[in-house]
């Protein structure tokens, strides 16, 4: 149709019409809300957004407005999800992501995401914020991008026994700014003790993590944004997961990446992980 944009966007669609004859004259506008996605929305394995909820499209099409192609849509959805005050990070529990039982094996990571409850908590447009942990944030990233027709996986990173004198089942993070905070202020950066962390990755294994912003990028340059298109590698390779550099910020760069060390270690290093693909088994209402 002539005049329709060839990029992601949303807005009101208005079609003026008129009908005249010797008997009557009619005129007016026929209108609806229009959502233009990058490709056909994805179903199984990518958020199950078929049919797509218009509430999700209000977010996804707004975040990726003007963009074309999977890489640009992933980048802008990650960036805008972090900076749009959708979630405020709460590491204590997931609010909308529920693991499915029975669990067949350690690698069986099937979850349901309560999309209806999520939007009930956010209210009517313009939406407000709600609490969430890394599972909630990464699953909603997947839901939003899949609504645009763009694939985005979810991965969980679990610690392994590093072989040090004090074995640990958790790792300590580098300073990060949780979603819902101003990432340009160093005082908002803190370290956490995680049993695991969940994030997103493209089919080409580029990492996107809208949950936690990093002060510097992998090159040690000022960043103050969530990891977008960072390499997903296994330490000690330079990667999203673990990289160390001195001196201390904010006057210089310090740690880059998510992990710092295992709990109980007295020095950085050794944070090797087990990486598992996570399946968003169903998106919808949970009673």
The pLDDT tens digits for 39-86 are 999 877 777 777 889 899 999 999 999 999 999 999 999 999 999 999
pLDDT digits 0-9 by tens, 246-261: 656 566 556 678 887 7
What pLDDT does 60 receive?
95
Q: Tell me how far apart the alpha carbons of residues 92 and 257 are, in angstroms, rounded to a whole number.
A: 22
Averaged pLDDT for residues 89-102: 82
- Phi–psi pair at 106, nearest 5 degrees: -60, -35
Q: Where are the beta strands (DSSP E) in the chain?
A: 9-20, 25-36, 87-89, 97-99, 110-114, 130-132, 153-159, 171-173, 177-178, 193-194, 197-201, 206-208, 212-216, 222-225, 228-231, 243-244, 255-256, 259-262, 273-284
Mean of the per-residue pLDDT values of the chain: 81
pLDDT of 7 strictly over 80: no
SS3 31: strand
Q: Tell me how far apart the alpha carbons of residues 258 and 261 are, in angstroms, rounded to a whole number.
A: 10
Answer for the pair 52, 40: CB distance below 8 angstroms, yes or no: no
pLDDT digits 0-9 by tens, 177-234: 999 999 999 999 998 888 889 999 999 889 999 999 999 888 778 899 999 999 987 6
What pLDDT does 286 receive?
41
Q: Tell me how far apart the alpha carbons of residues 21 and 245 are, in angstroms, rounded to a whole number.
A: 78
What pLDDT does 265 receive?
74
The pTM for the full model equals 0.85
% of the chain beyond a pLDDT of 70:
73
- Phi–psi pair at 215, nearest 5 degrees: -70, -40
Kindly state the DSSP code that residue 147 receives in the 8-state scheme: H
Closest by CA to 122, choosing from 87, 95, 98, is 87
The ranges assigned to domains in the chain are: 42-284
For 88, residues 6+ apart whose C-beta sits below 8 A from its C-beta are 129, 130, 131, 132, 178, 179, 180, 181
What pLDDT does 196 receive?
87
């Amino acid at each position: 149709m002539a005049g329709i944009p060839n990029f992601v966007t949303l807005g009101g669609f208005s079609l003026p019409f008129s009908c005249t004859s010797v008997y009557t004259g009619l005129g007016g506008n026929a209108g609806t809300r229009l959502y233009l996605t990058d490709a056909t929305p994805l179903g199984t394995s990518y958020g199950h957004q078929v049919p797509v909820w218009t509430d999700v499209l209000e977010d996804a099409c707004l975040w990726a407005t003007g963009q074309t192609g999977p890489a640009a849509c992933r980048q802008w959805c990650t960036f805008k999800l972090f900076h749009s005050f959708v979630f405020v990070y709460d590491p204590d529990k997931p609010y909308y992501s529920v693991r499915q039982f029975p669990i067949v094996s350690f690698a069986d990571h099937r979850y349901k995401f309560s999309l209806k409850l999520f939007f009930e908590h956010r209210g009517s447009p313009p939406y407000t914020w709600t609490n969430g942990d890394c599972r909630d944030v990464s699953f909603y990233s997947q839901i939003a991008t899949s609504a645009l027709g763009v694939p985005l996986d979810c991965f969980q990173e679990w610690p392994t026994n590093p072989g040090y004198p004090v074995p640990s089942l958790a790792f300590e993070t580098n300073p990060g700014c949780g979603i819902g905070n101003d990432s340009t202020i160093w005082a908002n950066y803190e370290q956490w003790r995680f049993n695991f962390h969940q994030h997103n990755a493209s089919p080409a294994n580029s990492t996107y993590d809208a949950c936690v912003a990093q002060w510097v990028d992998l090159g040690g340059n000022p960043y103050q944004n969530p990891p977008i298109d960072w390499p997903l590698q296994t330490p000690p390779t330079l990667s999203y997961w673990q990289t160390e550099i001195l001196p201390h910020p904010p006057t210089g760069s310090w740690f880059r990446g998510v992990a710092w060390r295992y709990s109980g270690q007295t020095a950085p290093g050794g944070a090797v992980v087990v990486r598992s693909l996570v399946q968003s088994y169903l998106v919808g209402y949970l009673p």
